[in-house]
Amino acid sequence: MGQQKMDAKVTEQKQEGHRKPITLLDQAVQLPLKERIKALPPEKRWPLTAGLTAVSLNSAMVGLICNSYFRRMCMLRGKGIILSMLPLVGACGVTSQAVWQVSIVNPLVSGKLLGCPLCAELRGGLVNFSLGALYPLILAAPINGAMAVMYRTIEVPLFSKKATPQEFLQFWVKKLRYFKVQFATIAIFQTLIGMYLAGKQFEVITLLQKPTEKRIETQT
């Protein structure tokens, strides 16, 4: 009997070891809904299956663009490329994916907060503008400023010399004046992408919830 119990425990441990890790989609979508997502054709289910990846890669790409601009402004050239690139790509990608999951996907699945397509699109545009355009820009400035101080390429207020917050702000405003058009283009693009993706996700969730609603009506 003791040997059989030991064998049963070993079998259970092996089965647990072979289980797949829980993903963000598994946490957000309940099992019946997830099965219906898999049953959809690829051209219809992509907003939920690939949407988070698209948001993450999109934000990481903008982080690279902002990093490249600030590196030129700080005259870093080939110095510390990896040190300035990795934090931006990692932070922008991971943060955008997590916030999109919490603020867009989860409310859509629960159906409690985003009950209309316009609400979903507006929130998607705001989230993608904030984390896909504004956040990489704000994050790139101090990272490359610190790199400039470390490699002594330029003097940055508050980093390499004493200065007031107003002087610090004026310094970065002057640096950004050549990036206005590019940033405006990125901001508009990211906002439109966020609105489009959130609208598509709303359509997919609505499509998947219709059969459930019909079954409930027939049962009552």
Could you list the mean pLDDT of each consecutive 10-residue stretch along the chain, which spans 220 residues? 52 51 46 66 81 93 94 88 90 94 87 78 94 94 90 84 84 88 94 94 82 44
Question: How far out from the chain centre does Cα 193 lie?
Answer: 12
Q: Which residues of 104-114 are buried (b: 16+ CB within 10 A; e: fewer)?
A: bbbbbbeeeeb
Look at residue 216 in the predicted model and tell me its pLDDT: 40
User: What integer pLDDT is reported at residue 210 of this predicted model?
Assistant: 65
User: In this predicted structure, what is the pLDDT of residue 60?
Assistant: 94
First to last CA, the chain: 51
Residue 109 pLDDT: 80
Q: So what's the pLDDT on residue 123?
A: 92
The predicted model scores a pTM of 0.75
Contact 47, 197 (CB under 8 A): yes
